[in-house]
A and B are shown apart, each in its own frame.
Chain A
Amino acid sequence: MSGKSGSVVIEFRDVGLYLGGKEITQNVEFNVRKGEFVCVIGASGCGKTTLLRLVSGLYQPTTGSVHVDGKKVDGPSRDVAIVFQDYSRALLPWRTAAGNVSLALEAIGMPRAERADRIHALLGKVGLAQHAAKYPSQLSGGMQQRLQIARSLAQGASILLMDEPFGALDAMTRQSLQDEVLELAADTGATVLFVTHDLEEALYLGDRVVALYSNPGRIARIVDIPLTRPRNQLSTREEPDFLHLRRELFGLMEEIHA
């Protein structure tokens, strides 16, 4: 019952990281299988973003190694797309929504003639078809985050890293975006590593939840989420398993914060 049974695509092999003489990450070891949706939770500053940077090749581990598709990560790969935590800084303010999606298509060398259709399809997928000509500054936070998701999809990566993508959004927007992301993941069969500090969000989305201790960041627990899919904002959150896991993880988080 532990998530999907596909091949391993992300491997943390006893990963340790020092930055500026400080130990940020310690002995991190876990795998993510193909098509799996794994959530990472932990207190602010515990090293969640750092884990994503290690997978995306933006950071190199000090000890141990990170492997993607069996290959040791030594730099960014086109097969790994990342949705950054601070969406307003991750979009090109001088490009329209369509232009921002186009950047990823240009990066993979898609001919100009094919781009327009693809951009339209991608913006449609995240509900931004009507806003193609707007600049990021003219979009709400939720729309900017959707745009970042569309750009990451444009890359055509099979691994999607998402860093608290809904952290700054209101509850309603957040729930509808959660369902959109689940749908996109199911549609594309992508493997998702999703960072959040919201325990319920992690339970609702994930096949597994990795909980981290702080200072330095290390794994506290890895919990399987045996909830059926597709998930539903009302019924899933009322399932006995959900409530049970919520209580368990809540206890764990209290312990972590203590």
Chain B
Amino acid sequence: MRRGFNFPGLAFLQGLVGLALFVWVWHLIVASGAVPRAFLPSPEATWNAFVRGVTIGDMREQLLGTVLRMINGWLLASLVGIALGSAIGISETLRNYLRPTLAFARALPASAVVPVAIALVGLTPGMVLGVIVFGSIWPTLLATVQGFAMVDPRLVEVSRALHLSRFDFIWKIGLPNAVPDIITGMRLSLTVALILAIVGEMLAGQEGLGKAILLAARMFRAPDLYAGIVLLGLVGLVSSYGLLLVERRVARWRR
């Protein structure tokens, strides 16, 4: 089905070449002097700032802060999303009632609710967590609803013929059927959670990479700023790839 996976080594190499090209172009732009170094440092300067940051600097603590914030929000969003999604997905009636509302809520960018959240609870860590949860819950919630809605009618008959309880139906048929969708949803949720963790830090001044790059920008420390951005990119890359692996493992019964 997915051709590329026949040559994982090749795909990996191609990815590296692409990355190298990107860095090279970056280097050329800086070397040409078209952009002031205060706005765009060279790859070497960024790399040095990166190494300094993670060895003698505060970047490790900042990274930990951001990653924890992201993961806490994401886990909470996943838990609530799966529970709510199961409850909605199990009932066709409920699905029909809630579909437009869900579509509406999902279309709201999480940043749009930030002012509301600030007004309600103020600039607290709880508010940041709440915004992360609210913003990142949708992919998981909707994927869960979808996974439940897509249970083969034959399996519904099987469970009726076997007299499965409602709980057993959810636990043994509905949820497993939804798992591949749920993991895909969770992968998308994680990306949103990272973005919102950073935005939250910038707004609420919580310790983390988001706050660090904001400060670096204000103090015109371009290499530090870019080192932070690179590290954020790495967090996104690693987490998303890790979940992709989980996704493939969990769905191995799907051909």
* A contact set with B: CB distance below 8 Å: 56, 58, 75-78, 80-82, 84, 86, 89-90, 92-95, 103-104, 106-107, 135-137, 155
Give the residues from 131 to 168 in chain B that come closer than 8 angstroms, CB to CB, to chain A.
152, 154-155, 157-158, 160-164, 168
Contact across chains for A107 and B254 when beta carbons are under 8 A apart: no
Complex Cα distance, B241 from A247, in Å, reads 65
Contact across chains for A92 and B255 when beta carbons are under 8 A apart: no
Contact across chains for A103 and B255 when beta carbons are under 8 A apart: no
Complex Cα distance, B162 from A80, in Å, reads 9
Question: A155 and B253 in contact (CB under 8 A), knowing A92-B176, A103-B172, A107-B168?
Answer: no
Question: Which residues of chain A are within 8 angstroms of B235 by Cβ–Cβ distance?
Answer: none
Contact across chains for B255 and A137 when beta carbons are under 8 A apart: yes
Question: A94 and B168 in contact (CB under 8 A), knowing A107-B162, A135-B253?
Answer: no
Complex Cα distance, B252 from A72, in Å, reads 43
Complex Cα distance, B167 from A135, in Å, reads 24
- The residue in A58, A76, A78, A95 that gathers the most chain B C-beta atoms within 10 A of its C-beta is A76
Q: Residue on A with the closest CB to B173?
A: A92
Q: Label chain B's interface by main secondary structure.
A: helix
Contact across chains for A84 and B255 when beta carbons are under 8 A apart: no
Q: Residue on A with the closest CB to B177?
A: A94
Complex Cα distance, B253 from A93, in Å, reads 6
Complex Cα distance, B254 from A19, in Å, reads 34
Question: Which residues of chain B are within 8 angstroms of A58 by Cβ–Cβ distance?
Answer: 157, 160-161
* B contact set with A: CB distance below 8 Å: 152, 154-155, 157-158, 160-164, 168, 172-173, 176-177, 179, 252-255
Contact across chains for B161 and A80 when beta carbons are under 8 A apart: yes
CB distance from B226 to the nearest CB of A (A): 44
Contact across chains for A76 and B158 when beta carbons are under 8 A apart: no
Complex Cα distance, B177 from A56, in Å, reads 24
Contact across chains for B157 and A84 when beta carbons are under 8 A apart: yes
Question: Which residues of chain B are within 8 angstroms of A84 by Cβ–Cβ distance?
Answer: 154, 157-158
Contact across chains for B155 and A104 when beta carbons are under 8 A apart: no
Question: Which residues of chain B are within 8 angstroms of A155 by Cβ–Cβ distance?
Answer: 162
Complex Cα distance, B165 from A76, in Å, reads 13
Contact across chains for B162 and A104 when beta carbons are under 8 A apart: yes
- The residue in A75, A77, A94, A104 that gathers the most chain B C-beta atoms within 10 A of its C-beta is A94
Question: Which residues of chain B are within 8 angstroms of A103 by Cβ–Cβ distance?
Answer: 162, 172
- The residue in B161, B168, B173, B255 that gathers the most chain A C-beta atoms within 10 A of its C-beta is B161
Contact across chains for B253 and A137 when beta carbons are under 8 A apart: yes
Q: Residue on B with the closest CB to A53?
A: B157
Complex Cα distance, B174 from A94, in Å, reads 11
CB distance from A147 to the nearest CB of B (A): 12
Question: Which residues of chain A are within 8 angstroms of B152 by Cβ–Cβ distance?
Answer: 89
